[in-house]
Structure 1
Amino acid sequence: MPKPILYGIYVSPPVRSVLLVAKAIGLDLEFREVNLGSGENKTPEYLEKNPQHTVPTLDDNGNIICDSHAIVTYLIGKYATDDSLYPKDLYKRALVDQRLHFDSGVLFVRLRAIIRQVLYQNNPNIPQEKLDDLSEAYGFLDTFLTKSQYLSGPSMTIADLCCIATTSSAQGLVAVDSKKYPNLSAWMKRMESLPYYEEINGKHAKQLIAFVNGKIAELKK
């Protein structure tokens, strides 16, 4: 059986979240980089797979799935050897799902709003309101972590892997204050201690941060 193919770019937080989950379950993916700058994501071939022309996109032997959270839950259901990362218990799963929705509907949306302004609108003057929105999201994460070491309970789930991909990128624009967000800061260190974290997520988050901040500096000249 051929390897599942993942289309994306390494600097994308949603793409990295899929790669983190795949690594956590020992799944070997074939990675095909999509050059967004040259418009590879808007070619007829790619649009046939993903009309929204976003990354990531998964092709599992002809089964096409878009959206990082849809992809990771699919991969868990098909390839994971147990349900530890995405529990079958309805209540535990609901908590994981809520954190996933928080990632896609709050955390990543607020990060993307800043990145789009800089990279696509060529506007380096980020309104304080957008920065405050990210800080507010940090506060929510810190609250989620008040009673447990991970976002939805005592052990790591796909919610943690998805949210760390976003948070590790966001911190380059709004720093995570360890005094203001002690639970969040401790959780980030916990996630960073994963043996595969730096190779799959850490170094690419740093690349994204450097690129965005470099663009801001260039536009302000």
Structure 2
Amino acid sequence: MGKLELYAIDVSAPCRAVLLTLKALNLPYEYKLVNLMTGENRTPEYLAINPHGTVPTLVDDRVVLTDSHAIITYVVDKYGTDDSLYPKDLVLRAKVNQALFYEATVVFDRTLLSISKPIFTNNTVVPVAKIDAVYKVYEQLESFLQAHPYFAGEQLTVADFSLVATVTALFPFAELDAGKYPKIHEWIRRLEQLPYYAEANAAGVKQYYDVLKAIGFKVLK
């Protein structure tokens, strides 16, 4: 195989989901920083690769993928030594997909992005209703984890990578109370034990927190 090229920035939750997956598979890749803060994603050179101007983008020879969910499932299918992270069993795969779709639509788009996008475009006042929506997500996640240690069942999958990258980005807006949400807390602690977690997710989360702190935001009650 040729070396994969990943266009990304670590403050991005979708990028961190891809990093977690690549590290889990022990795949070599070339990291190409795309600085969203300086508009590198809108340059003609980058738009020629990804017309959406989004991150992450994965280039694998002639294959170009521009969605984190497509990327993480693709690399497991193509390069995984087994299918544990994205099972081929029809029912198990459906459960992984279900969790991925939930993360993409509810946790990321309707919740995280609805708060963070205005902040990064100089609207730093967050309506309290959006914070309430975060706690609603926590309640749903806590419920999902009642019966199983991971979001698709008994084993770690790419759904957990996608969710943990986004969920940990919600903490600056709504602190996770371990007493109220013990299952989420335990799930995160399990993922933190992965040997690549600190590099692939925790470091980028800290960068994200630092950027938010520098910008500043307040909740309008």
Query: What TM-score does the superposition give when structure 2 sets the normalisation length?
Result: 0.94
Say which SS state the counterpart of residue 133 (structure 1) adopts: helix
**Does residue 36 of the first structure (1) align with residue 36 of the second (2)?**
yes
Amino acid aligned to 1:52: H
Residues 73-95 of structure 1 deviation map (CA, whole Å, 9 limit, x = unaligned): 11011100100000101110000
Supply the RMSD in Å over aligned alpha carbons: 1.3
**Does residue 117 of the first structure (1) align with residue 114 of the second (2)?**
no
Residues 50-90 of structure 1 deviation map (CA, whole Å, 9 limit, x = unaligned): 11110000110121111000000110111001000001011
Contact 1:5 1:59 in 2 (8 A): yes
Worse-superposed segment, 167-176 or 95-104: 167-176
Contact 2:119 2:217 in 1 (8 A): no
**Does residue 24 of the first structure (1) align with residue 21 of the second (2)?**
no
Amino acid aligned to 1:176: L
Contact 1:4 1:60 in 2 (8 A): yes
Amino acid aligned to 2:52: Q
Q: Aligned residue for 1:175?
A: 175
Q: How many angstroms does 1:39 deviate by?
A: 1.9
Amino acid aligned to 1:85: L
Contact 2:146 2:183 in 1 (8 A): yes
Say which SS state the counterpart of residue 191 (structure 1) adopts: helix
User: Which structure has more RCO (C-alpha within 8 Å, separation ≥ 6)?
Assistant: 2
Query: What TM-score does the superposition give when structure 1 sets the normalisation length?
Result: 0.94
Q: How many angstroms does 1:216 deviate by?
A: 1.3
Q: Aligned residue for 1:99?
A: 99
State the 4+ residue runs in structure 1 displaced beyond 3 angstroms: none
Name stretches of at least 5 consecutive residues in structure 2 with no aligned partner: none
Fraction of identical pairs, as percent: 43
Worse-superposed segment, 36-45 or 147-156: 36-45
Q: How many angstroms does 1:217 deviate by?
A: 5.6
Contact 1:169 1:206 in 2 (8 A): no
Q: How many angstroms does 1:112 deviate by?
A: 1.3
Say which SS state the counterpart of residue 126 (structure 1) adopts: strand
Q: Aligned residue for 1:149?
A: 149
Name stretches of at least 5 consecutive residues in structure 1 with no aligned partner: none
Cα distance in 1 between the residues matched to 2:129 and 2:209: 20
